Chain A
Amino acid sequence: NAGVTQTPKFRVLKTGQSMTLLCAQDMNHEYMYWYRQDPGMGLRLIHYSVGEGTTAKGEVPDGYNVSRLKKQNFLLGLESAAPSQTSVYFCASSQRDMQTQYFGPGTRLLVL
């Protein structure tokens, strides 16, 4: 039981490049979330999903897209990376609404 895993752990991109961050959970959780964490700030929600095939915008969705084709996976895409997207990205999952969130180890992204 690995919990929540994230791939990759670290990535460097050039401005304008695209990439996809993968989050996987093996706890059969319905809800999944993508956050970004910036220095001096708490986590901010980018997008979330309440079930397979559904996604919704969070607090800071601009510049990101997501997909939840399988219940256990939640992908975060950057179509054209910008330096402002340099951050640490966390994925989380929860059994259902109102439940405790379980976090992955984070992905550090540097956009030059």
Chain B
Amino acid sequence: AQTVTQSQPEMSVQEAETVTLSCTYDTSESDYYLFWYKQPPSRQMILVIRQEAYKQQNATENRFSVNFQKAAKSFSLKISDSQLGDAAMYFCAYYNYGQNFVFGPGTRLSVLP
């Protein structure tokens, strides 16, 4: 079965600085999707960024970008110019055809003013 690991339960970053959240996953498949979701105190899950495994180019979304290393099964999220509103739980998720989403345990990000 697929598993998703986020080895950093908590992270902190100074406002305007850059932070990287790590995620590794285990799969024997070659074609799949990876996601980063943000969960602020409101608890709503918000999609941050999505990556298709067949694409070599790393996905970017404004201040958010990923470093997708397929061979290493690594999918880290980089947040540039961190803002107070970025403080939240961040979940890495894996999805494959015909299977269900698998979520990691999450990383709590604090942004310090």
A22 within 8 A of B: no
Query: Quick one: CB contact mask for A86-103 with B, threshold 8 Å, 1 for yes?
Result: 001010100001101111
Q: Shortest CB–CB separation between residue B63 and chain A, in angstroms?
A: 19
Nearest B residue (CB) for A48: B100
Q: Which of B4, B35, B45, B104 contacts A90 (CB 8 A)?
A: B45
How big is chain A's contact interface, by range? 20 to 34
Chain B contributes a number of interface residues (CB within 8 A of A) equal to 24
- Name the B residues within 8 Å of A98 (CB-CB): 33, 95, 97
Evaluate contact between A43 and B91: CB separation under 8 angstroms: yes
Evaluate contact between A45 and B101: CB separation under 8 angstroms: yes
- Name the B residues within 8 Å of A40 (CB-CB): 9, 105
A77 within 8 A of B: no
- Name the B residues within 8 Å of A33 (CB-CB): 100-101
Nearest A residue (CB) for B6: A42
Evaluate contact between A43 and B43: CB separation under 8 angstroms: no
If A103-B37, A103-B45 are given as contacts, then 8 extra A-B residue pairs at C-beta distance below 8 Å, sorted by A number, are A33-B101, A42-B93, A42-B105, A42-B106, A90-B45, A97-B97, A104-B44, A106-B43
Chain A residues within CB distance 8 Å of chain B: 33, 40-45, 48, 58-59, 88, 90, 92, 97-98, 100-106, 108
